[in-house]
Amino acid sequence: MVRRCVRWCDGATVRWCVAAALLAASAGLLGQDRPDLSGSWKLNQAKSSAGATGNNAKVSFPSELVVTQQAGAVHVEIRYPRTDAVKATYTLDGSEVAVPIPGVTEKARAAWDGDRFLITARRVVSTPFGDFTTDSKEIWTRTGDILTIQKTQSSDGLSETETAVFDRSR
């Protein structure tokens, strides 16, 4: 494309033509659209995997998420039944953030991978028998009014992966 543009241009306009061609070629890389995750999302138990819901869930998911997305951060209010909401702010610069959960130490990092939002975290619960550590990875994808979160949790050499589907509530 640049070669064709250079043949078409002459004299002083060659630089402008090359700059325009480079800008057009890089627009796809620089302007990757990320889905807007903002909104209120309610867990849809019927669409979620069996191990993601109910009293015997292998991997726990909240009943509701309230998400606000900005250029440098994603703010998430995490709601479970019969407990206070947890508010987390995930920065998108790769830095580690603390997630304020009572009685738990959780550190997390978040980043975009194309149109997927990724969260990796380490949660430590201190007990009289020692610390219990769980590592997790969440992959968030949005398609229309559906938010899908695939979560893998690992602890003591065991790993479980489940998928939760959330419907956007109006």
pTM exceeding the 0.85 threshold for the entire prediction: no
Nearest to 92 by CA among 114, 107, 111, 119: 111
Write the burial class of residue 72 (CB in 10 Å: 0-12 exposed, 13-18 middle, 19+ buried). exposed
Q: Which CATH number fits domain 39-169: 3.40.640.10, 3.40.800.10, 2.40.128.20, 2.40.37.10?
A: 2.40.128.20
Q: Which residue in the block uniquely carries the two structure tokens 């951060």?
A: 73
* Inter-residue contact 116 to 140 (CB < 8 Å): yes
Neighbours of 169 (CB within 10 A): 11
Q: What is the pLDDT of residue 23?
A: 35
Neighbours of 162 (CB within 10 A): 20
Q: What is the pLDDT of residue 144?
A: 96
Q: What is the pLDDT of residue 32?
A: 60
- The ranges assigned to domains in the chain are 1-31, 39-169
10-residue stretch averages of pLDDT, the chain, 170 residues long: 44 39 39 86 96 86 96 96 92 93 92 97 94 97 98 96 94
